Amino acid sequence: IVEHFVTIQLFRLKKFNKWEVQVMNKQERSTITDLGKCNFRDVCSYFQQKSEERKARSKEEKQEEKKKNEALIEEFGFCDWDGHREKIGNFRLEPPGLFRGRGNHPKMGKLKKRIIPENITINCSKNSKIPKPPAGHKWKEVRHDNAVTWLVSWTENVQNQNKYIMLNPSSRVKGEKDWQKYEVARNLKSKVDRIREDYMRDLKSDEMMVRQRAVALYFIDKLALRAGNEKEDGESADTVGCCSLRCEHIKLHKHLDGKDFIVEFDFLGKDSIRYYNKVPVLKQVFKNLVLFTENKEGPDDLFDRLNTSTLNKYLNSLMDGLTAKVFRTYNASITLLNQLLELTDPDDENVASKILSYNRANRAVAVLCNHQRAAPKNFSEQMGRMNEKIEKKQRDIQDAKQETKSAKSDYKHNKSEAKRKAYEGKKKKVERLQEQLIKLEVQATDKEENKEIALGTSKLNYLDPRITVAWCKKYSVPIEKCYNKTQRDKFAWAIAMVDDTYVF
């Protein structure tokens, strides 16, 4: 209960005002009637002290702990899957605590209860070594279902949803699924022209549902919007995707900033990340949007005749495996490919500038998919320090050039070996400094452009890794520059498969 109150206090400190006390007994409830009158300072400082102690551990202690952790991973972090030893993704259960949720979540502050063995379902083969529950406990169920990939499941009490323990992305099942996903997206590449023709035609359909479907598809394709399932009111934060857009989420401008037919989007998407975009659209799309919003209020559905289910059913009839989210994968990957083609300078041998091009291509995708992040702490100070460094380097170069000049004239007047060497040395120094300057400038540009953009999500989930692998091979960029160890493990299938001729 102490931990519970500490967390509640933390919520309060962060100006969150919803909480509930589900863990108090009768007596506690009668004693504690107003949390505002409770003083958690001692509890708080207790945990702060614990945290300080942890930070102050000696090297040996840290080593010791690391070893113990590795042993734990060794014992519980792997499973046997069809005779292969596979890494498990999340083998530690979620601890009890207060549910936060993202954005303005109605269930924020509810108690997430401790999971006990009686909540746990184990899924493994019949003839395998079935894990034993802790003494005095029983599993909820042990089943042997090879049609699913999870090893353990339980029901989380706040949202009443199933949670699973599954394999790590480096595992074979996950890798094969990933590969399959990109194959579907590649398949879309050959069908997309036809599909686009279809929805262009459908923009003028007599049937309202078809028109709405066409406009929704236009958004999903052009803007990489998510499908947008309906959500139960009051169960989660108010966020939307394409099909669940409401009239209040768009503004229609016949003319804006010298352009025609502008749609201004402003809504909260997944994780309550704001999507704000002013987009010029086709005249017919604009006309349709005017039509769809006629006689409606802000909270009314924009696409009242459409939902993700009917949309996906239609898409599946156009191509095997096609769903709304395939467009995101396809458009992300094709954007990376096109941007790489456009931004890579084959004559520039410098690996750092190649990587800048790659990151920029990656960034174009992140912008398309609206993958944002909070700007890093002290960002402007960091930027300032970097710029100072650049200026200093520029001064150093000026100085070094001056020195080179005088070394050169020295050598002219005295053609000795020593003078020649001195001159050569100075020249080398200038070159070295100039290279360092370029590297610094590249770093600064990259950092500035990346201020509020998260590259990781698209790299991990939307970009066909074979495009990256092939690009690296083509331009002799070591794959380590694009993918770290974990990413190389996840994309092992792609790295093994592809040479520089791969075409998405």
Partner DNA sequence: TATGAAACTTAGCACTCTCTAA
Partner DNA sequence: TTAGAGAGTGCTAAGTTTCATA
Q: Within 13 Å of residue 297, how many CA atoms lie on the same side as its CB?
A: 1
Q: Is 102 exposed, middle or buried (0-12, 13-18, 19+ CB in 10 A)?
A: middle
Q: Which one of 177, 421, 428, 451 is in contact with DNA (CB under 7 A)? A: 177
Copy the structure tokens of residue 379: 């960002």
β-bridge mates for residue 301, sequence order: 246
Write out the binding residues for DNA, residues 282-311 only, by CB under 7 A.
Answer: 307-309
Cα dihedral value 382, 387, 388, 391, nearest 10? 170
Q: Which one of 371, 426, 429, 466 is in contact with DNA (CB under 7 A)? A: 371
Binding status of residue 486 toward DNA by CB under 7 A: yes
Q: Which one of 34, 257, 381, 417 is in contact with DNA (CB under 7 A)? A: 381
Binding status of residue 323 toward DNA by CB under 7 A: yes
Binding status of residue 456 toward DNA by CB under 7 A: yes
Instruction: For DNA, give the closer residue by CB, 181 or 296.
Output: 181
Residue 462: active-site member = yes
Instruction: For DNA, give the closer residue by CB, 225 or 422.
Output: 225
Letters for 395-434 (x = contact with DNA by CB under 7 A, - = none) are ----------------------------------------
Q: Which one of 46, 52, 97, 183 is in contact with DNA (CB under 7 A)? A: 97
Stretch that binds DNA, among 246-254, 285-293, 415-423, 479-487 (CB under 7 A): 479-487
Q: Which amino acid is at 391?
A: E
Q: Within 13 Å of residue 351, how many CA atoms lie on the same side as its CB?
A: 9
H or E, element range at 329: helix 324-343
Instruction: For DNA, give the closer residue by CB, 155 or 284.
Output: 155
Q: Which one of 7, 120, 170, 178 is in contact with DNA (CB under 7 A)? A: 178
Stretch that binds DNA, among 20-28, 188-196, 368-376, 395-403 (CB under 7 A): 368-376
Write out the binding residues for DNA, residues 20-79 only, by CB under 7 A.
Answer: 54, 62, 66
Binding status of residue 359 toward DNA by CB under 7 A: no
Binding status of residue 353 toward DNA by CB under 7 A: no
| Candidates 199, 358, 462, 483; catalytic one | 462
Copy the structure tokens of residue 454: 């998260």
Query: DSSP class of residue 94?
Result: P
Q: Output the smallest distance, CB 328 to DNA, in A.
A: 7
Q: Output the smallest distance, CB 437 to DNA, in A.
A: 13
CA–CA gap between residue 440 and residue 387 (Å, rounded): 9
Q: Going by C-beta distance under 8 Å and a sequence separation of 6 or more, which residues neighbour residue 359?
A: 446, 450, 455
Q: How many CB atoms lie within 10 A of CB 197?
A: 10
User: Are the beta carbons of 460 and 366 closer than 8 angstroms?
Assistant: no
Q: Which one of 50, 68, 114, 385 is in contact with DNA (CB under 7 A)? A: 385
CA–CA gap between residue 155 and residue 118 (Å, rounded): 11
Write out the binding residues for DNA, residues 233-292 only, by CB under 7 A.
Answer: 236-237, 239, 241, 269-273
Write out the binding residues for DNA, residues 192-231 only, by CB under 7 A.
Answer: 226-229, 231
Q: Which residues of 329-359 are buried (b: 16+ CB within 10 A; e: fewer)?
A: bbbbbbbbbebbeebbeeeeeeebbbebbbb
Instruction: For DNA, give the closer residue by CB, 66 or 204.
Output: 66
User: Are the beta carbons of 230 and 219 closer than 8 angstroms?
Assistant: no
CA–CA gap between residue 218 and residue 197 (Å, rounded): 11
CA 402 to centroid of chain Cα atoms: 48
Q: Which amino acid is at 83?
A: G
123 three-state secondary structure: strand
Write out the binding residues for DNA, residues 153-172 only, by CB under 7 A.
Answer: 153, 155-156, 158-160, 162-164, 166
Q: Which one of 79, 321, 394, 403 is in contact with DNA (CB under 7 A)? A: 321
Q: Output the smallest distance, CB 29 to DNA, in A.
A: 25
Instruction: For DNA, give the closer residue by CB, 191 or 389.
Output: 389
Q: Which one of 420, 447, 473, 474 is in contact with DNA (CB under 7 A)? A: 447
Binding status of residue 106 toward DNA by CB under 7 A: no
For the chain, what's the residue count?
Answer: 504
Q: Output the smallest distance, CB 382 to DNA, in A.
A: 5
Catalytic residues: 462
